Amino acid sequence: MKSHTPNALASALRAFFSEHMPSTRGLSPNTVQSYRDAFVLLLRFLAARRGCEVVDLELEHLTPENLIAFLNHLETDRQSGASTRNARLAAIHSFTRFVALRHPEHLELCQRLLAVPTKRARLRAVEYLEAHEIRSMLSSVDDNTVDGCRDRALLVTLFNTGARVQEILNVRPIDLQLDRPSQVRLQGKGRKERLCPLWPQTANLLRRFLDKTNLTMSSTEPLFRNHRGEALTRFGVRYLLRKYARLGLAGAPSLKKKNVHPHVLRHSAAVHMLQAGVDLVSISHWLGHACIETTNRYAEIDLETKRAAVTRAGPVVQETEVLSAWRKDKSILEWLESL
């Protein structure tokens, strides 16, 4: 069997994924996996384009021309949108800057790669759920069972905090403070921590859910777990959301027209806060946005939606409801796939 001595590309990739991303930059596992996926696609594309094996690829093969061809391949052959194209390019640009520091003999190539621009992406309208749609989904949850109690607590916590799904899935009982003032400690992008207030109803739901499990408030196990006792995944949350959106159709037929995905509750929380008169800076801090520009998109709700929101006085849900109103030695490719 032919053996290969790691070349500059393979060595740089290993160092980038094993050291630079997790240790030097402290990036989250999700970001590492996203970058890994970009390079799996890139390496396969370059190997096919050159008619060679991935293990035979050299750093010099990553030219601006090949990079542009790869980006076009994403859009035409894989039907990726501009935002996905830009995310893949951002991963490659990050690696390129790392290579420029680690292998300055390739600085000129790196500068040319970094000159490949992102593509202007059309901002899609913010998808969010109306108050009655959220109420209908929640009313379809049978919280007399452990799973139902978990699901209701999960959905309400997602909406209360407006947190990213992975932030909630990373929560442990030790991160909760259920006595007044109720709050939860969240770890966001870049491992930045923030405290988010909890409604009294949310705290009561979480307390009730904990009573049905073998978890204590000092536990460092994941709070939201599946039948195997493992942390729920984003795919699991997607399944649950679609399930309750389907069950909630009886009370809110408009849910049939909504794409209910994990991020939609985050959008919903932001929009409802905006409609309640909360300023964008506060919403930005609440959601853990790195810059206010990210939050500004929520201010682009059309005027009619804003006008309608003004006429809908009162809380998102009634006081009798649980929701309250606002406030792993392998080829480089195999190695990447094993991350």
136/323 Cα distance (integer angstroms):
12
Calpha distance 92→144 (Å, rounded):
49
Q: Measured between alpha carbons, how far is residue 306 from residues 103, 133, 160, 311 in Å?
A: 54, 17, 21, 9
124 has catalytic annotation: no
Q: How far apart are CA 336 and CA 339, in angstroms?
A: 5
Active-site residue, selected from the candidate residues 20, 135, 164, 267: 164
Does the CA dihedral 245-251-257-262 come out positive or negative? Answer: negative
Annotation marks residue 102 as catalytic: no
Contact between 139 and 310 (Cβ < 8 Å)? no
Catalytic member of 73, 102, 185, 263: 263
Our answer to whether residue 289 is catalytic in this structure is: yes
Considering the candidates 88, 93, 150, 266, report the single residue annotated as catalytic. Answer: 266
For residue 106, report the phi and psi dihedrals to the nearest 5 degrees. Answer: -105, 20
Which phi-psi region, left, alpha or beta, contains residue 216 (left: φ > 0; alpha: ψ -120 to 50)? beta
The closest alpha carbon to 264, from 339, 180, 158, belongs to 158
Question: Is there a catalytic annotation at residue 189?
Answer: yes
Element (H, E) at 195: strand 193-197
For residues 136 and 317, what is the distance between their CA atoms, to the nearest angstrom? 10
Please, are residues 65 and 76 in contact by the beta-carbon 8 Å criterion? no
Give which of 41, 126, 22 is closest to 84, Cα–Cα.
41
Which residue among the candidates 189, 194, 207, 208 is catalytic per the annotation? 189
User: CB–CB of 94/35 below 8 Å?
Assistant: yes
Is residue 261 flagged as an active site residue? Answer: no
Is 137 in contact with 151 (CB distance < 8 Å)? Answer: no
Question: DSSP letters of 112-162?
Answer: HHHTSPP---PPPPPP---HHHHHHHHHT--TTSHHHHHHHHHHHHHHHH-
Is 97 a residue of the active site? no
Return d(Cα 12, Cα 33) in angstroms, integer.
17
Catalytic residue numbers read 164, 189, 263, 266, 289, 298
